[in-house]
Structure 1
Amino acid sequence: MTEAPRTPEQRKKDALAHLAADKDLWVSTADAKGNPCLVPLSFWWNGTSIFIATVRTNQTGQNIVTTGRARVALGHTRDVVLIEASALLVENDDLATEYSDAYAEKCGWNPRESANYRFYRFDPQRIESWRELNEHEDRELLRAGEWLI
């Protein structure tokens, strides 16, 4: 049986709870020709941006540097949060120590301990969240980087 639809305010609260508590997400990027790449990665949310870490020379890192875009998915298919984000490489020296420490505490490892890893910052431009078809109509919570609720 399908649950009653949540209010947009509740879906925003639930989406923020996923960002605060989930440990992993799916990151989708594409190269300049549109060839897709999808990988699961650990992340940390600072309240406004998502931080991931990956090897700069792998496909995900290259795609972010080339296109400056990513799409992220949290949750599961019956409670999904989809985020379209601007994406950029953050060199280790440019990342505040408290950010890398918070990432390490949440994710259980510190990418700064490996010369091959770099941090990337995703700034959400659009956020959608829904559980069932009855929430599709009002699924958009953030547009052009601004909360609608």
Structure 2
Amino acid sequence: MENTAPPRPPARRRQDVLDRLAREVDIWVATADADGLPCLVPLWFVWHEESIWLWTRPTNPTGRNLRDGGRARLALGHTRDVVLIDGEAETFGAREAPPAAAGAFLAKTGWDPREERAPYACFRVRPLAVQAWHEQHELKGRHLMRDGSWTV
């Protein structure tokens, strides 16, 4: 099946990414341990103050990898509508998480990990690179952010 729609202009792609970050609740989180063993899980998230905020248990593979490796690749969408985000991760204990970020997460998801009996950690992922495309015809021009700065 061939897509005959014209490619979206870069500014439209950026706005579409920002709209999805505001609207969607789940994001794929890919990390790796020190030996390169990959881990891929979906997590709830919130886009707040130009960062993606995630909560997970600090003892599970994703929590350890985010804390120890400090990097993640995040993905939204399916194979015909892709957003890939590479970023640096910063770890906060549940009580050290910035209140505004924790409040934004609660408002979006209806869940406050700080109230759980089991320990949770908060992770801020600051985007360094963002790519977005609809199918093959949009591969050209898919890089919307490089080195932490929007290119459009």
Structure 1 length-normalised TM: 0.96
Match of 1:45 in 2: 47
Instruction: Specify every segment of 5 or more residues in structure 1 that has no aligned partner in the other structure, as ranges.
Output: none
Note if contact 1:18-1:75 (Cα within 8 Å) is conserved in structure 2: no
Aligned to 1:67: 69
- Which is further off, 96-105 or 55-64? 96-105
**Equivalent residue letter for 2:141:** D
Gaps of 5+ in 2: none
Partner amino acid for 2:29?
V
Match of residue 149 from structure 2? 146
CA contact (8 A) 1:29 1:36 kept: yes
Q: Which amino acid aligns with 1:111?
A: P
Aligned-residue sequence identity (percent) comes to 45
The TM-score, its normalising length taken from structure 2, stands at 0.94
Deviations 1:8-29 (A, max 9, x none): 1110010111111100000000
Shift, 1:35, TM fit: 0.4
> Could you report, residue by residue, the CA deviation over 1:94-141 in whole angstroms, capped at 9, with x for unpaired residues?
322222111011012111012411110100000000001111110000
Matched, 1:23 2:2: no
Residues matched between the structures, number: 149
* Superposition RMSD in Å: 1.0
Looking at structure 2, the residues matched to 96 and 7 of structure 1 have their Cα atoms a distance apart, in angstroms, of: 35
2:17 and 2:104 map into 1 onto residues whose CA distance is 20
Asked if the contact 1:86/1:124 (under 8 Å) is kept, the reply is: yes
Deviations 1:23-77 (A, max 9, x none): 0000000001110000000000014000000000000000011110000001222
1:64–1:87 Cα contact (<8 Å) kept: yes
